[in-house]
């Protein structure tokens, strides 16, 4: 298995189409079609999931989160990148090639 490229603030990402997701009491639950695993997300993860329905850079995502949650920029960047990295490893996120 090849290593996944590291995500950066300039990376554009979007949800994978190989999943089915829905809202349960304001939080996202989803099923990966590829691996058959269920996932549930907390409030911030659910918001990230909603935002990456359309392609966006990690930097733009962080800017949106900073406007909605009380968090320091460095913490938001670090935690958003870690969450997106996990989504990528679980094949729930695609990197959008640069134009």
pLDDT digit string, tens, across residues 10-60? 999 999 999 999 988 888 999 999 889 999 999 999 999 999 999 999 999
Phi, psi dihedrals of residue 50, rounded to the nearest 5°: -65, -40
Contact (CB, 8 A) for 10 and 96: no
99: pLDDT confidence band, cut at 50, 70 and 90? low
Contact (CB, 8 A) for 56 and 84: no
Task: Please count the other Cβ atoms lying within 10 Å of the Cβ belonging to residue 89.
Answer: 10
Domains of the chain: 12-91 (3.90.930)
In this prediction the pTM is: 0.91
Rounded CA-CA distance 53/68 in Å is 17
Rounded CA-CA distance 7/60 in Å is 14
């Amino acid at each position: 298995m090849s290593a996944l490229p590291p995500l950066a603030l300039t990376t554009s990402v979007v949800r994978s189409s190989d999943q089915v997701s829905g809202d349960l009491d304001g939080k996202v639950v989803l099923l990966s079609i590829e691996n058959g695993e269920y996932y549930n997300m907390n409030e911030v993860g659910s918001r990230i999931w909603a935002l990456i329905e359309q392609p966006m850079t990690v930097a733009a995502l962080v800017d949106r989160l900073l406007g909605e949650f009380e968090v320091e920029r460095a913490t938001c960047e670090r935690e958003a990148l870690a969450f997106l990295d996990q989504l990528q490893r679980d094949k729930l996120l695609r990197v959008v090639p640069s134009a």
